[in-house]
Amino acid sequence: MNNLQAAKDIYDAMDRADVNALIEAMDPAIEWHEAEHSPYWSAEGPWVGVDAVFANVLVNFITQWEGFTIRREHFHEAGDVVVMEGRYTGTYLATGKVLDAQVSHVLSVRDGRLVKFQQYTDTACWAEVMTP
């Protein structure tokens, strides 16, 4: 499997909320970097390991959002790196406000598994939606 297809498969698994496929797609020592000052960012550094990613990032999209999606618009592949450009959309349950934020992800893939994830997004948009 090439890295571009591996990245697309990860997004497809997220769409389906297929936890087993996501676990299989991630390296056990994955480094997950949320955009600085985004709601699920850690000032202490990246989330490391599959359990940390699920507990501190991914579970939030299931429990705090309705209809959360990542609309993928463009993919760019450069060796072990795949860049996705798109938009986040969804309704934040605590405020009822709708998110429509630009996003870019940089995924580092090795042997078909995600080893590093870096998010870039409009954090001001997130703050506006999540603030009552």
Report the chain (132 residues): mean pLDDT per 10 consecutive residues: 92 94 97 97 97 96 96 97 98 98 98 96 98 96
E-assigned strands of 17-97?
26-33, 47-48, 65-78, 81-92
pLDDT of the residue at 11: 97
Range(s) of the domain holding residue 52: 3-130
In total, the chain counts a number of residues equal to: 132
SS3 label, residue 108: strand
| Residue 68: count of CB within 10 angstroms of its CB | 17
Strands 81-92 and 65-78: antiparallel
pLDDT of the residue at 1: 66
pLDDT of the residue at 12: 96
- CATH code of the domain containing 22: 3.10.450.50
Q: How many domains would you assign to the chain?
A: 1
Token pair for 5: 């297809």
Give the global pTM: 0.94
Cα 42 from Cα 34, distance rounded (Å): 8
pLDDT of the residue at 85: 98
